[in-house]
Amino acid sequence: MEPAHGDDKPHLPPPSLWPVGFAIGVACILVGLIVRPLVIVPIGAAIAIVFAFLWARDATRDYRTVSVPEVEPERRPPRRRARAIPAHRGEAGMPEPEPGEIERFPRSIFLEGATLGFGALIGGLVTIPVLGPAIAEAFVRGKKHEFDLGPITNFPVGKYVITTFFTDPSEGTVSRRTAYIRNNGDSPKGPSFTIISNRCAHLGCPVQPNGPVFDNQKKTTHSRSAGDVTIIPALPAGFGCPCHGGQYDKEGNRTAGPPVRGLDRYEYLIRDGHLVLLKPFSVWKVNGTGANAKIQKYPLTNPGDHVHGIESWLYPWQPPR
C-alpha cells in the first residue's frame, strides 16, 4: 500500500548520499574502459551495483515499511461435515475469498503484465534489427558518382551524342544509364558540355531524341568506372518521351506535355583530357544555350516532383541519394 501524500508529510524519497557512490562507480567504469578494461571496469561495476542497491533500498524504505494493519484471525464455524475438496473440481472448489481479502496485491495482474511486457520487449528487440535491411538500407547506401566517359575528343563540338554507360559495371545491364551530351567547345572557363539525363521529369521514362540517330557511327570505349561506354551521334530537334508525350527542347526545357520541370542534368569535370560525369541534379529551367546557359539548378528530385513555385512546397524533403 502506498503511503498517503499529504502536504504535511516530508517529500519522498529523502535526500541520501548513495547516488554519489553510484556515480563514482559509473565514473570508474568509464575510466576503466579507457585505462584497464579487465581490471577497473569490474571494480567500478561492483561499486555501482552495490550503491545502486543501497540507494534503491533507501529510497523505497518508506514504501516497504508501511505498517500492515493487523488482520483479524479468521474464525469460521466448523462445518458439520467438512470434506476435502475433490481434486477434479479444481479451482471451482476453492473457497470464495472474503471481500477484504482480495486485491491487496493482485498477483495475477502482475503476471499478466510481466508476460505482456516481456513479450513486447522481445518483440521489439527482434523487430529493431529487421528495420535495418527492410527500411534503412534504402536510405543510407552511398553510391559513387564519378564515371569516366573517355577522351573529350570523342564528343564532336556543337553536336549531340547519345552516350550510354554503367553506374556499376558489376551489376550488369540494370545499371546502364543514358545521357545526351553536347560538346559546347571551349569557353573562358574551360571546355563546356551540356549533359542531359534521359530520365523524363514526368514519371521517369526514357526520353528519346526527336531526330535521326546515326547508329552506323557508333563508337565504343571502355573505362573502369563506367564499363562499356557507347557514343552514337544524333541530330535532335528536341527530346520526347514515349510514355505520356512529354516534350522538351534542345536544352531540356519542357515545351509540352505533363512534365513538371526541365530534364535533369549531370555535373562534370575534365580530368586528363577525359570527360568525367559527376552527380545528377534537377533543373527548373534553362535560359540561353550551350556554354552561356543560365541553369536554374536544384538538388536531384524525384520525377514528377516540382522544384519551383508554390507546388514545390509539397516536396520539402528529398531522401539522401
| CA dist., res. 221 & res. 154, Å (int) | 9
For the chain, what's the residue count? 321
Give me the least distance between CB of 314 and another protein, in Å please.
Answer: 4
Strands 247-248 and 239-240: antiparallel
Assess whether the previous peptide bond of 13 is cis (omega < 30° from 0).
yes
The reply on whether position 314 binds another protein by CB under 8 A is yes
Residue 52 or 243: the one with the smaller Cβ distance to another protein is 243
Reduced to 3 states (helix: H, G, I; strand: E, B; else coil), residue 176 is: strand
Residue 137 or 146: the one with the smaller Cβ distance to another protein is 137
Give me the least distance between CB of 78 and another protein, in Å please.
Answer: 43
Helical segments of 232-280, H only: none
Q: Annotate 293-315 with three-state secondary structure.
A: CEEEEECCCCCCCCCCCHHHHHC
Residue 202 or 250: the one with the smaller Cβ distance to another protein is 202
**Residue of 11, 79, 141, 144 that binds another protein (CB under 8 A):** 141
Give me the least distance between CB of 244 and another protein, in Å please.
Answer: 8
Give the interface size with another protein as a residue count (CB under 8 A).
Answer: 30
Binding window for another protein (CB under 8 A); candidates: 116-124, 134-142, 211-219, 290-298:
134-142
Reduced to 3 states (helix: H, G, I; strand: E, B; else coil), residue 153 is: helix
Residue 150 or 246: the one with the smaller Cβ distance to another protein is 246
Sign of CA dihedral 21, 24, 28, 29: positive
Contacts of another protein in 281-310 (CB under 8 A): 301-305
Residue with cell 554503367: 166
**Residue of 172, 212, 245, 299 that binds another protein (CB under 8 A):** 172
Cα separations in angstroms, 307 against 38, 173, 235, 257, 289: 57, 30, 29, 17, 21
Residue with cell 559527376: 278
Site string for another protein, 28-57 (x = CB under 8 A): ------------------------------
Is residue 255 a contact partner of residue 239, using CB atoms and an 8 Å limit?
Answer: no
| CA dist., res. 286 & res. 161, Å (int) | 20
| CA dist., res. 186 & res. 157, Å (int) | 9
> What's at 42, amino acid-wise?
P
**Residue of 112, 146, 171, 267 that binds another protein (CB under 8 A):** 171
Is residue 156 a contact partner of residue 183, using CB atoms and an 8 Å limit?
Answer: yes
The reply on whether position 139 binds another protein by CB under 8 A is yes
**Residue of 76, 143, 189, 294 that binds another protein (CB under 8 A):** 143
The reply on whether position 168 binds another protein by CB under 8 A is yes
Residue with cell 529551367: 285
Binding window for another protein (CB under 8 A); candidates: 36-44, 119-127, 198-206, 267-275:
198-206
Residue 29 or 277: the one with the smaller Cβ distance to another protein is 277
The reply on whether position 71 binds another protein by CB under 8 A is no
Residue 171 or 215: the one with the smaller Cβ distance to another protein is 171
Residue 18 or 281: the one with the smaller Cβ distance to another protein is 281
Residue 184 or 312: the one with the smaller Cβ distance to another protein is 312
Footprint of another protein on this chain (CB under 8 A)?
Answer: 135, 137-139, 141, 143, 167-168, 171-175, 203-206, 243, 301-305, 314-319, 321
